[in-house]
Structure 1
Amino acid sequence: MIRWLLLIPFALLIAIGMSSLFFFIASMVDPLMATLTGETLFVGFWHLLDAVFSSDDPAPIVADAMLTVGRIMFTLLVLPPLVIAVISEVLRMRSLLWYALATGILTAAVPWILRGAARVQNPEELHVSAILGLTGAVAGFIYWAIAGRDAGGRTAPPAPPTSQMPSGS
């Protein structure tokens, strides 16, 4: 019971934090991701500032922007490891390969699932999916390292019967 209450949430928290850090670093180091992230943040920031300064009450605009960013981050960084952790606990999966691949594939597939497309429109989409897949794999690996090896709660092997033979003298 302690596992469900403490270890799994702790493992998810650390895994999500480390995968977020990986995604942040990849967004700065990778040229395509840096361009995409930089342009998105630049345009989004100036659009937000324009909307804030042209409004009488900017609080709803800022709140809506923060809510949208939170939803995007939850969908990309929190939901895939959470779903895989739940599935893994129910199925008692213990394999590192399972955690890394399943979380990586699910994270990479999220944008494709959300837009309902299976066709690649340009090669940059595959590149972004690969970065997202690696982000998910990091989360899966960290979760496995903390809590996944003992997924499903290993049961202790039964103790062998100890029968004492009466000493005959």
Structure 2
Amino acid sequence: MIGHFVWRGIVVAVSFCVAVGVALVVLLALGSVWVGDELRAIAVEDPQFRAFVLQDPVLQDPDVQRSVAMTFGAVVFIGTVGPALTALPAFAAAVIGEVLHVRSWMYYVLAGGAALAAIPVLAGAAADAPSLPASEYMTIFATAGFAGGFIYWLLAGRGA
């Protein structure tokens, strides 16, 4: 009996860590692409950027421009999002699911999405921001939460 609870605790802890890792990878990948595309769209209008690109034939390749923009996008996105990231909402969703013995994939997917989508809202409320973050921003967070919630359900939620 005690062995079962210890084993379940280990499974839940490892599954939670894996799900958080997957959600973080999805969040950073989607965020990097989004910010990179935004930076690339803005940079095209900049005359200094155009002059710099015309000097280097390698940078004239659109694929290279996209790669550079995604790299800068990753740096900007991680720098702005990193300090606000917390696993507490996702942890609360996992604990509630385990305590109530919820086995539905839908609960974990929706709870994961809501938990990650709550982070920018909570960070904005703490910083006294006047409005909600951009819809693209919220979509990226929710998508990463959906992925993390699904992974958690696959590994541990089905046996809650």
Could you say whether these structures have the same fold, taking a TM-score greater than 0.5 normalized by the shorter chain as the test? yes
Q: TM-score range by the shorter chain?
A: 0.5 to 0.7
Superimposed CA distance per residue, residues 128-155 of structure 1 (whole angstroms, 9 cap, x where no aligned partner):
011000111111000000000011xxxx
Corresponding residue of 2:138: 129
> Which structure 2 residue ranges, 5 or more long, are not aligned?
40-69
Aligned AA for 2:135? L
What is the Cα-based RMSD across aligned positions, in Å? 3.0
Q: Does the CA-based 8 Å contact 1:84-1:102 persist in structure 2?
A: yes
Aligned AA for 1:109? A
Counterparts of 1:109 and 1:41, CA distance in 2: 17
- Percentage of matched positions with identical amino acids: 27
Q: CA deviation at 1:26?
A: 1.0
Query: Structure 2 residue aligned with 1:13, among 10, 13, 17?
Result: 17
Corresponding residue of 1:23: 27
Q: Does the CA-based 8 Å contact 1:80-1:136 persist in structure 2?
A: no
Q: Does the CA-based 8 Å contact 1:120-1:126 persist in structure 2?
A: no
Query: Structure 1 residue aligned with 2:108, among 77, 84, 99?
Result: 99
TM-score scaled by length of structure 1: 0.60
**9-18 or 31-40, which deviates more:** 31-40
Structure 1 residues 84 and 92, CA gap change in structure 2 (3 angstroms): same
Structure 1 residues 118 and 15, CA gap change in structure 2 (3 angstroms): same
Counterparts of 1:118 and 1:98, CA distance in 2: 30
Query: Structure 2 residue aligned with 1:140, among 120, 124, 149?
Result: 149
Query: Structure 2 residue aligned with 1:114, among 120, 123, 128?
Result: 123
> Which structure 1 residue ranges, 5 or more long, are not aligned?
45-67, 152-169
Q: Does the CA-based 8 Å contact 1:11-1:146 persist in structure 2?
A: yes
What is the count of residue pairs matched by the alignment?
121
Corresponding residue of 1:155: none
Counterparts of 1:15 and 1:32, CA distance in 2: 28
Corresponding residue of 2:97: 88
Counterparts of 1:19 and 1:90, CA distance in 2: 23
Counterparts of 1:95 and 1:40, CA distance in 2: 33
Aligned AA for 1:149? R
TM-score scaled by length of structure 2: 0.63
